[in-house]
Amino acid sequence: MNPVLKIVLQRLGLGVLTLIAVSAIIFSAIQMLPGDFASAILGQSATPETVKAFQHQIGLDKPAPQRYWEWMAGVAHGDFGSSFSSAGSLGGGHDRAVTDIIVPRLKNTLILASLAAVIAVPLALLLGVLAALYRNSFFDRFVNSFSLAWISFPEFFIAYILMLYLSVKFQFLPSLASVSSDSGIGDYLVKCALPAMTLVLVTLAHMMRMTRTALVNLMSTPYVEMARLKGASRFRLICFHALPNAWAPIANVIALNLAYLIVGVVIVENVFVYPGIGQLMVSAVASRDIPVVQACALIFAATYILLNLTADIIGIVTNPKLLHRR
């Protein structure tokens, strides 16, 4: 079997096992959430018999292992179950599939993450290459200091600072990203500008600093020294000799930040009231809508695992030495 194909299959198998383990952790953690959905939706005046009947309707009276296996069997067929919130009152509700609730929100999150990634990734690579090219210059020190400052701030702080100056004081951009399916491209970009800028500032620094560090470390390797002795320019040394061999660590940090753009948008979406999957998950936790919480958490976990596997495979393909055991 081709070594690359073998590695890919091994990583995919490991990813599936990891996702199964994570699903068990997600299910167990959600079972420990305080409160009960049936009691919360029926109110304090509900009788124990009514609560018990409602729990039977939505399946909460089943043993936890049975509910877990039924949930996993449904997920394997693309069915995340029905939302508890759509059950309405006892016997009169209309079940709404979790997939129908999540898909529009996930689409919004992917659009926002893609918008931020299209800006952040090329800009981070460019700044990282320039910082390595002009190492120890004023530009290098300025970019490193600027990025270190943004790394030190939490997401909500950056979001509120941008909102304060660009929305409240100068009124350049709207403070709330209240987009809908009817929003045009121009309107969508304007309303998503602040959350996208927040995500760019949060992720840009990590990718830029890793790119610079990887290139600087490779500049002292023997093959780069040999190219320097042959008279290659500093630009050629970095772009044609160091950069092709630095893709493994750079791909890893890019994958982690792309995963953050999807998984870690919960705070940003809630600050700007953006209708994404992160805001949906927070609302579902508050209402104890267990199927929606489980689906959101599993999607986040699958995204994180898939992007890390992709980075791992890219690192192996770009560095053939990793295909062979030492």
In angstroms, the CA 177 to CA 169 distance is 17
Last residue of a domain, one of 87, 111, 136: 87
Residue 72 lies in a domain: yes
pLDDT in tens, 248-292: 788 888 888 888 888 778 888 888 888 888 888 888 888 778 888
Same structural domain, 103 and 73: no
Q: Within a domain: residue 174? A: yes
CA dihedral 138, 141, 147, 151 (to 10 degrees): -160
Dihedral Cα 116, 120, 121, 126, nearest 10 deg = 160
| CA angle, residues 72, 276, 269, in degrees to nearest 5 | 125
Number of domains in the chain: 2
Q: What is the reported pLDDT for 317?
A: 73
The pLDDT, as a whole number, for residue 89 is 46
Whether 36 is covered by a domain: the verdict is yes
User: End of a domain among 22, 57, 87?
Assistant: 87
The pLDDT assigned to 91 comes to 46
Together in a domain, 17 and 128: no
Same domain? 186 vs 312? yes
Task: Measure the CA–CA gap between 32 and 16, rounded to whole angstroms.
Answer: 25
Of 34, 64, 87, the last residue of a domain is: 87
Percent of the chain with pLDDT over 70: 89
Output the tens digit of pLDDT for each of the chain's 326 residues. 677 777 778 888 888 899 899 999 988 888 777 666 666 666 666 677 777 787 777 777 788 888 888 888 888 888 888 887 765 544 445 567 888 889 989 888 898 889 999 999 999 989 988 888 888 888 888 888 888 887 888 888 888 988 888 888 888 888 887 777 676 788 788 888 899 999 998 888 888 888 888 888 887 778 777 877 777 777 787 777 777 777 778 888 888 888 888 877 888 888 888 888 888 888 888 877 888 888 998 999 898 888 888 877 777 776 666 655 55
Residues 38, 103 within the same domain: no
| 35 three-state secondary structure | coil
Do residues 119 and 62 share a domain? no
Task: Return the bridge partners of 97, or none.
Answer: 82
Domain for residue 299, yes or no? yes
> 68 and 125: one domain?
no
Asked whether residue 269 is assigned to any structural domain, the reply reads: yes
- Residue 116 falls within a domain, yes or no? yes
Residues 167 and 249 reside in one and the same domain = yes
The DSSP 8-state label assigned to residue 242 in this structure reads: I
The sign of the CA dihedral 120, 122, 123, 126 is positive
Any domain includes 279: yes
pLDDT value at residue 36? 66
pLDDT at position 119 is: 92
User: From CA 216, how far away is CA 184, in angstroms rounded?
Assistant: 44
3-state secondary structure of 14: helix
Closest by CA to 193, choosing from 182, 201, 204, is: 201
Same domain, 279 and 301: yes
pLDDT in tens, 179-194: 776 767 887 888 888 9
d(CA 234, CA 217): 14
CA angle 244, 248, 251 (to 5 degrees): 100
Residues 228 and 82 reside in one and the same domain? no
Provide the pLDDT for residue 123: 92
Rg (CA), the chain: 24
In this structure, the answer to whether residues 20 and 79 fall within a common structural domain is yes
Q: Is residue 147 part of a domain?
A: yes
Strand partners, 82: 97
Identify the pLDDT of residue 118: 92
How far is the C-alpha of 165 from the C-alpha of 173, rounded, in Å?
Answer: 10
In terms of residue numbers, what domain contains 121? 99-323
For residue 252, what is the domain's CATH number?
1.10.3720.10
Please tell me whether residues 197 and 305 are part of one structural domain.
Answer: yes
Rounded distance between C-alpha atoms, residue 311 and residue 15, angstroms: 13
Q: How far apart are CA 163 and CA 169, in angstroms?
A: 9
The pTM of the full predicted model, rounded to 2 decimals, is 0.81
Same domain, residue pair 146 and 41: no
